[in-house]
Amino acid sequence: MSFESFNLHPSIMTGVQALGYVTPTPIQLQAIPPIMQGRDLIGLAQTGTGKTAAFVLPILQRLLRCPRGRIGALVISPTRELAEQTYEAATELGQKTGLRSMAIYGGVSMDQQLRKLRDGVEIVIACPGRLLDHLWQGTIDISNVEVLVIDEADRMFDMGFLPDIRGILKCMLKPRQTLLFSATMPDDIRRLVQEVLREPVTVQIGRTLPAATVSHALYPVRQDLKPALLKELLRKTKTESVLVFTRTKYRAEHVAQLLGRAGFRVACLQGNLSQYQRQTALDGFRDGSFKVLVATDIASRGLDVLDISHVINYDMPDSTDAYIHRIGRTGRVGKTGDAFTFVTSEDTPMVRALEHLLNSPMQRRTLEGFDYGASAPARGFTRSPGEMRRRPIGAVASAARY
Ligand code: AMP
């Protein structure tokens, strides 16, 4: 099947070709036809499956015949990174349609957003908090929205955004088409679906399992040896871009500093950074000036760098869902990837849960030549992640670069 079979407008097909998409991904094949028929839809799909285009393309097709200058489609995103990436996808796919998109999120000044809103846009991709600010101030009108997308709904729920979403829904008129995407379906999301969607079609891409293109390996290691193991592993492994996940902001900062001192081109992405710092880190990672990005879980969604060859869980994630989301950053459309997870004795229950999810034992690896019996270093992380969490977060680095 090709994109031609969707009968998209030629101006939209130009965008598809410009992005080099030749064959629709499974979620696109299943979701685009019902969305184009105007059906509500639940998309159970992990990140990296091509779900953004699955909703952006039908939105562009629908809005081509709507009046300009009013918001016809609203996408609600849990994080600024995801909002930016969806905005970029909408802009690139819609480059020849004349439809205008904008991203709305907090941490940046309102002025620019107000100017863009006044100039007129047809597609808004927004994080809930800042969108509510605009709604309260009467600076945005979403009463004409014909298509609403709730993206990464489970993440939105994890971040406590569900009440905000209900608030936003109150400002919208019915009937409208509602599309909800989620990697998992916790009970609260199921309830939201029942309240908000009308006779939805459900499209599920595989089970909520990690992509089959990713291989998984565990590196058992003492907590205090993690920094040395990471450096050694990065030196000895052939990698493209590498994403390293830590459990806390503090640990992300320190691991990044440590790698920077060891000569790696590294940036850090964590919640205490300003929007400018985040963008610098992301841009540098995307264009290859940083080979390693050390991040907390905020970065695990929507990070759209296609050649991440390795995800390294420096700290074990705290749920199997978080694991899936983290490693969803590698092995994306048609590529392979490796997920390495450092494990200490505290992580045994999570290892069991992961092996249950993957339905197979995970390979235990040791790094050849690494001194696993070394005595504790004088500096570094000699405490457990729990202890690290209790330590106050120090001054935020002034730049994302080390
Ligand atoms: P998403 O799951 O929407 O974050 O998409 C993951 C990546 O796949 C993005 O970089 C998209 O540009 C890319 N992508 C989406 N659809 C296709 C396609 N049909 N062919 C090739 N790449 C695609």
What is the CB < 6 Å shell around ligand 1?
19, 21, 23-25, 28, 47-53, 304, 306, 332-333
Return the ligand 1 atom nearest residue 3 CA. Answer: 19
- d(CA 40, CA 1) in angstroms, rounded, equals 23
Hey, whose CA ends up nearest to atom 4 of ligand 1? Answer: 48
User: In this model, does residue 272 exceed pLDDT 60?
Assistant: yes
Residue 41 phi/psi, 5° resolution?
Answer: -150, 140
CA dihedral 151, 155, 158, 163 (to 10 degrees): -10
Please give the share of the chain, as a percent, with pLDDT higher than 90.
58
Q: Ligand 1 mean position to 53 CA, how many Å? A: 7
Report the pLDDT averaged over residues 73-99. Answer: 95
287-323 pLDDT, tens digit per residue, is 889 999 999 886 655 565 557 889 999 999 987 777 8
Higher pLDDT, 150 or 381: 150
Query: Residue 334: what pLDDT?
Result: 56
From the centroid of its chain, how far is CA 80?
Answer: 9
- 204 pairs with which residues across the strands? 44
Report the pLDDT averaged over residues 125-150. Answer: 96
- d(CA 321, CA 296) in angstroms, rounded, equals 15
Q: Which of 112-126, 196-210, 329-343, 359-373 has the highest mean pLDDT?
A: 112-126
Please list the residue range(s) of the chain that carry CATH number 3.40.50.300.
3-204, 214-401
From the centroid of its chain, how far is CA 15?
Answer: 22
CATH of domain 214-401: 3.40.50.300
Q: Ligand 1 mean position to 31 CA, how many Å? A: 14
CATH of domain 3-204: 3.40.50.300
User: In this model, does residue 330 exceed pLDDT 70?
Assistant: yes
- Tokens standing for residue 378: 């004088």
Report the pLDDT averaged over residues 369-392. Answer: 56
**pTM listed for this prediction:** 0.63
248-267 pLDDT, tens digit per residue, is 989 999 999 999 999 999 99
Residue 12 Ramachandran class (φ > 0 left, ψ -120 to 50 alpha, else beta): alpha
- d(CA 124, CA 118) in angstroms, rounded, equals 13
Hey, whose CA ends up nearest to atom 15 of ligand 1? Answer: 50
Query: Residue 43: what pLDDT?
Result: 93
Query: Residue 301: what pLDDT?
Result: 56
